């Protein structure tokens, strides 16, 4: 596996490969890799001639400075996991390589309502930071396909929207959420949970499964209130939002008939660790 830290070297190397007609699969990450990330890498290696991953803890997508400081960083382990997953190239830029002089530039992209609800509402500026970095990474890597997890479903929808609007020449491939055996969605942030918090964290997915069982049968608001109550009964759980909305546009619904593809979305704090999850309700 080749490692690059400079934009110019990465761009030139990948361009020469693309010019030879090779397909490039791209998996952008913030590191602290787990099976969820590696499933994306493996899918990419099975569908492309070359797989590129990036590891960059993007400062401009953190609305909470403490979250940025505490974000886990495990570079040498990540490199060996990527090597084992047969990733071909890893790009690990420093922040001043991506944002010289600390200036991220702006992306005057109108996401409509997509970044006004849920993650967008509770993490102001987050999706702009994501869009700026992903667009820049796409320019550097010039991927044929890029792989994103449904775990961050809103991010996936926001990126798809950006790619369509800006007519970027890349195919966005959504990948299923990878879970621990007890149902907890894998996340780099899980390593920050205490033993006690880790033990009760699977309740998030258990509640989502119960919601799915009752979807379409119980009124939307009744089900939402039930889910919130169930989670808030757990010691140390603090719900930031629990929403039922359409997969097409993420808009919250009040009646089941308002969407063909309802999903439930949740963000919850366990202590100071913020976890998100979601589930497709009519699948």
Interacting residues with ligand AMP (CB under 6 A): 29-30, 36-37, 39-40, 148-149, 151-152, 175, 177-178, 185-188
Task: Give the residue nearest to ligand AMP (CB).
Answer: 149
CB of 175 to ligand AMP, least distance (A): 6
Which alpha helices (DSSP H) does 20-85 contain, by range?
A: 35-47, 65-70, 75-84
Specify whether 257 is catalytic: no
Which alpha helices (DSSP H) does 48-152 contain, by range?
A: 65-70, 75-84, 95-98, 119-122, 126-141
Which residue, among 181, 205, 4, has the nearest Cα to 88 in the 3D structure?
Answer: 4
Q: φ, ψ for residue 199 (rounded to 5)? A: -65, -35
Alpha-carbon span 251 to 120, nearest angstrom: 12
Cβ-based nearer residue to ligand AMP, 36 or 245: 36
Among the listed residues 34, 37, 126, 161, the single catalytic one is: 37
Cβ-based nearer residue to ligand AMP, 228 or 280: 280
Residues 6+ apart with CB under 8 A from 79: 1, 3, 90
Alpha-carbon span 39 to 199, nearest angstrom: 24
CB of 180 to ligand AMP, least distance (A): 9
CB of 195 to ligand AMP, least distance (A): 21
Cβ-based nearer residue to ligand AMP, 212 or 224: 212
Cβ-based nearer residue to ligand AMP, 30 or 279: 30
CB of 34 to ligand AMP, least distance (A): 7
Distance of CA 161 to the CA centre of its chain: 15
Catalytic (active-site) positions: 37
């Amino acid at each position: 596996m080749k490692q690059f830290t400079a934009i110019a070297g990465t761009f030139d190397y990948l361009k020469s490969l693309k010019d030879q007609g090779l397909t490039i699969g791209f998996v952008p990450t913030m590191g602290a890799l787990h099976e969820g990330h590696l499933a994306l890498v493996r899918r990419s290696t099975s569908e492309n001639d070359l797989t590129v991953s990036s590891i960059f803890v993007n400062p401009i997508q953190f609305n909470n400075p403490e979250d940025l400081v505490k974000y886990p960083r495990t570079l040498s382990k990540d490199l060996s996991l990527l090597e084992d997953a047969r990733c071909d190239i890893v790009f690990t830029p420093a922040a001043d390589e991506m944002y010289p002089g600390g200036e991220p530039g702006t992306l005057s992209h109108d996401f409509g309502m997509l970044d006004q609800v849920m993650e967008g509402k509770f993490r102001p500026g987050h999706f702009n930071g994501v869009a700026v970095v992903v667009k820049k990474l796409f320019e550097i890597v010039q991927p044929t396909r890029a792989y994103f997890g449904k775990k961050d479903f809103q991010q996936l929808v926001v990126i798809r929207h950006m790619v369509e609007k800006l007519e970027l020449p890349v195919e966005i491939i959504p990948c299923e959420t990878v879970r621990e055996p007890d149902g907890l969605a894998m996340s780099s942030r899980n390593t920050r949970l205490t033993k006690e918090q880790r033990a009760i964290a699977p309740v998030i997915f258990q509640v989502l499964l119960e919601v799915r069982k009752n979807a379409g049968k119980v009124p939307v608001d009744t089900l939402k209130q039930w889910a919130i109550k169930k989670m808030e009964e757990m010691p140390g759980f603090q719900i930031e939002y629990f929403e039922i909305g359409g997969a097409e546009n993420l808009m919250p619904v009040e009646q089941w008939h308002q969407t063909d593809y309802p999903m439930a979305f949740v963000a919850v704090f366990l202590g100071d660790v913020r976890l998100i999850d979601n589930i497709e309700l009519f699948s």
